[in-house]
Amino acid sequence: MRRRVWGTAVALALLSTGVTTVPAATASPVGQRPAPLERLFDNTAVSDDTRPTGADFDGSGRSLSAQDLTAAGWTPGRALTVQGARLTWPRRAPGEPDNVRADGQSVRVRGNGDALAFLVAGTGGGEESGAGLVRYRDGSRSSYHLTASDWRGGPLGTKAVALPHVNTPGGQLAEKARLYVVTVPLAEGRAVDSVELPRNSDVHVFALSVRAENRGWTGSWAASTSGYTAVGPWTDRTLRLVVHTSAGGPRVRIRLDNTFAAAPVRVGSATVAVQGSGASPRSAPAALSFGGSGDVEIPAGAQAFSAPLGFDVPADSNLLVSFHLPGTVTAAPVHSLAVQQSYVSEPGDHAADAGPDAYTSTILNWPVLTGVDVGGGPGSVVVLGDSITDGEKSTRDANRRWPDLLADRLRQQDAVPRYGVLNHGISANRVVTDRYVGDGVSTDTGGVSALHRLDRDVLAQTSARTVVVFQGVNDVRWGASAEQVVEGLREIAERARGRGLRVLVATIAPCAGEARCTAAVDAERSAVNRWILSGAGAAVFDAVLDFDAVLRDPGDPARMLPAYDSGDHLHPGDAGFAALAESVDLGVL
């Protein structure tokens, strides 16, 4: 973790993005004995469609639909995992108090972890925020800042779930109702005793928990959900997905995400195996379980981690992760650019098959699966990027994306820890603008913006230690100014450093010759790079990777060196990816 030096400027910066220790002498006095959140519920957000007047969430008689929540899998008392945090939807019937309006209440919350997770929504018409206080078992305290987006107008790209209707006394409105999971950091190594909520009655809290730290795990492979697209349709089919490990270990678990979905998805069984060739495992697949069961239903917007399994995961190897979809799946969360062939079976549960015969179809994306963790290890480096990081134009099935090659270098040395490397590149992704709006079935798989996916794709990743940010070319190619990109990069750095991560940034690579990379675009690109390389940029980031200098043609700096160019003048080829990975000073990770 990042070594913190507490000075006045740093403390003020972290007040809005991270943990600020509050001296006992200046802390707010205890106004009440801490109570479980459900005993403090003073507002009713959920109504039955047949009795919409039974709830008044926002003071104007509007409410959430109980039937919509049930359709999304958000039933009373249901445990939900979002951003790695386990939260429980209130065990209340429609028309009963099910949330608390934040007004400084003291909530009994116990546990050790890296963050507090709040299931919230705002009802003031915009972002609602306020400062709160965490009390620890050792008597110390820290402050936090909580922001809740509006339940009717907040960004869909950051929501946990969106429901299709809003209930009103006059009938249902066909508009999206949103709920959000927001995490705030905790002081490292301290056990939480209670939490004082902010004082803003337009912030509604439905659930609150401590997100457990991922001690004993290292992220070995990951992929971002880049969109929610039509698939198959698949009925009673098994997916056998091929993924490439960075770090190895003696235990394994997988992460399945139902991001951006409106309905639950059921996984009937799941296995893991080391790939032999194609859809053939090297040996019989090992069965994975979820909470003591072989199957799992994942509510809309939630995720599921498999239970730890003793399984020797080799570093730098291909795994086959197979899971059965017993129902009919017509759309799914996907990572669209896998640069890797995976497999779909004939009807039936073929997750445990030790042969390839049932797998008669192929796909080139990764649906539902978003992570593979291994036991032990030093933690992970997360790479937040666009298509250059995603591996566009690299050789398919060869694992020559530059983060793969960076992982190779880490494994082959002893000077720094042999971190796992998690590739969170999304083709066509931008820093400040959503390509995919974040809800509904879409053909656009450019993802929500880096700002909107930062919590999910970086801060919630298993044992993340460092983040490398390599984005911005798509922003300037589609009309964003250098100032907008710089502000986006600055916000990413502040939020990530507030969570104790080291933050590295890479300069934007040249792309003259590609249709959108005009002279005006190059001017904006160059302006972003000048800021990154300046003293102002150095003050924001822990280190800079000058990828522009690595890839550019010395004779024409706006263009990529022909030896590194894939041919489209925007994406490097295999030689260019190798040059990027080789240029990274491993000591800055």
Residue 484 counted as domain residue:
yes
Order across the sheet with 420-425: list the strands. 420-425, 380-385, 464-470, 502-506, 543-545
CB 199 within 8 A of CB 104: yes
Looking at residue 215, its pLDDT comes to 87
**Residue 521 within any structural domain of the chain:** yes
Position 465 in a domain: yes
Does residue 18 sit in the same domain as residue 161? yes
Residue 2 lies in a domain: no
Domain boundary among 157, 188, 211: 211
Look at residues 319, 351, 374 and tell me which one is the last residue of a structural domain: 374
CA-based nearest residue to 445, from 523, 502, 367, 388:
367
Q: Is residue 36 a part of any domain in this protein?
A: yes
| Token pair of 26 as six digits | 């200046």
Residues 244 and 348 in one domain: yes
Based on the domain organization, do 30 and 170 belong to the same domain? yes
Q: Say if residue 203 is in the same domain as residue 219.
A: no
Q: Residue 433 and residue 310: Cα distance in Å, rounded?
A: 42
Question: Half-sphere exposure of residue 395, counting CA atoms within 13 Å on the CB side?
Answer: 8
Residues 6+ apart with CB under 8 A from 63: 44, 45, 46, 47, 52, 54, 55, 56, 57, 166, 167, 168
Q: Cα–chain-centroid distance for residue 66? A: 27
Phi then psi for residue 181, to 5 deg, are: -110, 125
**Amino acid making up residue 240:** R
pLDDT of residue 19: 62
* pLDDT for residue 16: 37
Asked if the structure places residue 3 within a domain, the reply is no
* Token pair in block for residue 455: 């919590």
Residue ranges of the alpha helices (H) in 77-120? none
Q: Are 98 and 155 in a shared domain?
A: yes
- Angstrom CA distances, 384 to 77, 294, 470, 471, 521, stand at 35, 33, 6, 7, 22
- Residue 511 identity (one-letter amino acid): C
29 and 69 share one domain: yes
Q: Say whether both 358 and 386 belong to one domain.
A: no
Residue with token string 């006095």: 29
| Residue 466 identity | T
Sign of CA dihedral 167, 170, 176, 181: negative
Task: Fill in the DSSP letter of residue 457.
Answer: I
Cβ–Cβ < 8 Å for 214, 84: yes
User: Which domain range does residue 368 map to?
Assistant: 214-374
Whether residues 468 and 568 share a domain: the answer is yes
Both tokens of residue 15?
């007040």
Residues 405 and 309 in one domain: no
pLDDT (0 to 100) of residue 15: 34
Which pLDDT value is given to residue 31?
55
E strand or H helix that includes residue 71: helix 66-71
Is the residue at 246 inside a domain? yes
Statement to judge: residues 43 and 179 lie in one domain? yes
Within a domain: 1: no
Residue environment code for 129-154, b if the CB has 16+ CB neighbours within 10 A, otherwise e: bbbbbbbbeeebbbbbbbbbbbbbeb
User: Of 312, 345, 374, at which residue does a domain stop?
Assistant: 374
List, run by run, the mean pLDDT of 10-residue segments along the chain (589 residues).
28 41 46 91 98 98 98 98 98 98 98 97 97 98 98 98 98 97 96 98 98 94 98 98 98 98 98 98 98 96 98 98 98 98 98 98 98 98 98 98 98 97 98 98 98 98 97 98 98 96 98 98 98 95 98 98 98 98 98
Do 144 and 185 belong together in one domain?
yes
* Helices and strands: H and E segment counts in the chain: 11, 38
Give which of 166, 167, 185, 182 is closest to 120, Cα–Cα.
182
| Number of domains, the chain | 3
399 and 353 both lie in a single domain: no
Angle, CA of 321, 324 and 327, to the nearest 5°: 150
pTM confidence score: 0.94
What stretches of 157-301 adopt beta strand conformation (E)? 161-163, 166-168, 171-173, 177-185, 191-196, 199-211, 217-222, 227-244, 249-257, 265-267, 269-277, 280-281, 286-288, 296-298
The CATH number of residue 439's host domain is: 3.40.50.1110
- Whether cis (ω within 30° of 0) applies to the bond prior to 233 is yes
> Which residues is 79 bridged to in the sheet?
88
State the Cα–Cα distance between residues 337 and 190, nearest whole angstrom. Answer: 40
